[in-house]
């Protein structure tokens, strides 16, 4: 690199990434091929429009790149192009959810989603997010002692509030989601069922988590979490008489965006192909095994694990324990000093603030990519315990 200033920073970050234990649940390490596509000359090309229908000339190769990405997305999740439509141009998860609501939900109608503090995402109707300002949020929380979704309570809320869309799929929920129950709830009030599988898409691809596709009307995923691709998002909508496919494509361009990032789209295509390999199935299973081992060991050491464990890559850990432990912010700082990177997180029914909540969120996608197994998780849990107890 000629720019030594930036090169030095990139090298330093590369070294940092290699030297820490990364338990950030939304991060992963991409392959060399993904990096190569991201840094390719595809970034030079303007391609407003869609394959075969562009505003600019010179897109005959770019068309093939984007179509390949779309075809691989359908194939990976075992979908037929007669039933599902894919838009591959979404720049990240948040703009993807925004595009979907903009396309399918009239402004001012109700979006029903899980509260941020219970594990939902900002873009599921949080009052500080534009999704909670342009549409009316109907936010639900986790059911009491069990710390899992109370589907009967959701059914009641849905029937009373009659939201136009219900969002299932969360950022800090460790358990499997019953998509069939969500379908019944959506049907009971005539809502669209949108599944945000950003966190667990890689596990779905690897057969380690239930697929939402048999039940959803639309599915969004980021591609940079468990799916192990570049920062980007994919939107899938059902193809039927409602015309969601056409509405979505028109909202993405000209409604919201200009030229797609075709270098990213090529990198997504690579990641989707990598995720279709038998090794990725093994990877996804190992991710879950590692998370379950980490949760079990932390529990054994006396920590409160939300919902008692995990079915995914993600663990929500109560570090505060009603004042007997440390706050989430202190926990994350202490762990970082010892080279373990996590993020602070609210826990269901949290009485502390979002900026210094009662817990931390852990995930095993990144460390599993680096080849870590159960025995490593036990060691990490023991080290975390020592640090948090100040031993
Ligand atoms: C990460 C995430 C998003 C947002 O993705 P960005 O790429 O950070 O904008 C949206 N929804 C869920 C459930 C997520 O986990």
Q: What is the pLDDT of residues 19-31, one digit of tens each?
A: 999 999 999 999 9
Single out the residue of 233, 168, 213, 286 nearest to residue 26, CA to CA.
233
Please state the rounded mean pLDDT for residues 187-200: 98
Whether the CB of 17 sits within 6 Å of ligand 1: no
Q: How far is the CA of 58 from the centre of ligand 1 (A)?
A: 33
The pLDDT of residue 144 is 76
Model confidence at 59: pLDDT above 90 = yes
Domains present along the chain, CATH in parentheses: 32-275 (3.40.640.10), 278-389 (3.90.1150.10)
Whether the CB of 169 sits within 6 Å of ligand 1: yes
What's the whole-number average pLDDT of the chain? 97
For residue range 328-361, what is the model confidence (pLDDT) as tens digits?
Answer: 999 999 999 999 999 999 999 899 998 999 999 9
The pLDDT of residue 293 is 98
**Residue whose CA is at the smallest distance from ligand 1 atom 6:** 93
Please state the rounded mean pLDDT for residues 154-178: 97
> Helix, strand, coil proportions of the chain in percent (round to 5)?
45, 15, 40
pLDDT band at 255 (very low <50, low <70, confident <90, very high): very high
Nearest-angstrom CA–CA distance, 265 and 277: 19
pLDDT band at 241 (very low <50, low <70, confident <90, very high): very high
The pLDDT of residue 145 is 81
Please state the rounded mean pLDDT for residues 102-120: 96
Question: Which residues are marked as active site?
Answer: 46, 48, 196, 222, 225, 231
Nearest-angstrom CA–CA distance, 331 and 356: 10
The pLDDT of residue 236 is 98
**Residue whose CA is at the smallest distance from ligand 1 atom 15:** 171
**Residue whose CA is at the smallest distance from ligand 1 atom 10:** 93
Whether the CB of 222 sits within 6 Å of ligand 1: yes
Whether the CB of 92 sits within 6 Å of ligand 1: yes
pLDDT band at 391 (very low <50, low <70, confident <90, very high): confident
Whether the CB of 221 sits within 6 Å of ligand 1: no
Burial label, 161 (beta-carbon count in 10 A; 0-12, 13-18, 19+): middle
Q: Helices in the chain by DSSP H: which ranges?
A: 4-19, 32-38, 60-76, 93-104, 151-161, 179-189, 201-205, 244-250, 262-274, 278-300, 328-337, 365-369, 374-388
Q: How far is the CA of 2 from the centre of ligand 1 (A)?
A: 34
Model confidence at 207: pLDDT above 80 = yes
pLDDT band at 365 (very low <50, low <70, confident <90, very high): very high
């Amino acid at each position: 690199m000629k720019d030594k200033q930036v090169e030095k920073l990139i090298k330093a970050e590369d070294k940092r990434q290699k030297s820490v234990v990364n338990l950030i649940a939304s991060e992963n390490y991409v392959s060399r091929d993904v990096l190569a596509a991201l840094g390719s000359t595809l970034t030079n090309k303007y391609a407003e429009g869609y394959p075969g229908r562009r505003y600019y000339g010179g897109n005959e190769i770019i068309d093939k790149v984007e179509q390949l990405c779309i075809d691989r997305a359908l194939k990976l999740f075992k979908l037929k192009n007669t039933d599902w439509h894919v838009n591959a141009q979404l720049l990240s998860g948040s703009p993807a959810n925004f595009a979907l609501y903009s396309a399918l939900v009239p402004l001012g109608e109700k979006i029903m989603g899980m509260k941020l503090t219970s594990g939902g995402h900002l873009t599921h109707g949080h009052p500080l997010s534009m999704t909670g300002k342009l549409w009316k949020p109907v936010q639900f929380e986790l059911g009491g002692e069990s710390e899992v979704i109370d589907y009967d309570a959701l059914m009641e809320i849905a029937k009373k509030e009659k939201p136009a869309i219900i969002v299932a799929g969360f950022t800090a929920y460790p358990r499997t989601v019953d998509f069939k129950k969500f379908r019944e709830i959506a049907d009971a009030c005539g809502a669209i069922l949108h599944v945000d599988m950003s966190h667990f898409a890689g596990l779905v691809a690897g057969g380690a988590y239930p697929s939402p596709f048999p039940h959803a009307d639309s599915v969004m995923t980021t591609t940079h979490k468990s799916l192990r691709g570049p920062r980007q998002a994919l939107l899938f909508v059902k193809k039927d008489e409602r015309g969601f496919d056409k509405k979505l494509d028109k909202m993405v361009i000209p409604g919201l965006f200009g030229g797609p990032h075709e270098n990213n789209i090529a990198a997504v295509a690579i990641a989707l192909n990598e995720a279709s390999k038998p090794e990725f199935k093994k990877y996804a299973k190992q991710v879950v095994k590692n998370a379950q081992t980490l949760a079990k060991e932390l529990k054994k050491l006396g920590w409160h694990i939300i919902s008692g464990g995990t079915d995914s890559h993600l663990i929500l850990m109560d570090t505060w324990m009603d004042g007997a432990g440390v706050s989430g912010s202190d926990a994350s700082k202490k762990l970082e000093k010892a080279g373990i990177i996590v993020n602070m997180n609210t826990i269901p029914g949290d009485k502390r603030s979002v900026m210094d909540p009662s817990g931390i969120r852990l995930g095993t996608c990144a460390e599993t990519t680096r080849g870590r197994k159960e025995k490593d998780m036990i060691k990490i849990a023991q080290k975390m315990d020592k640090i948090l107890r100040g031993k």
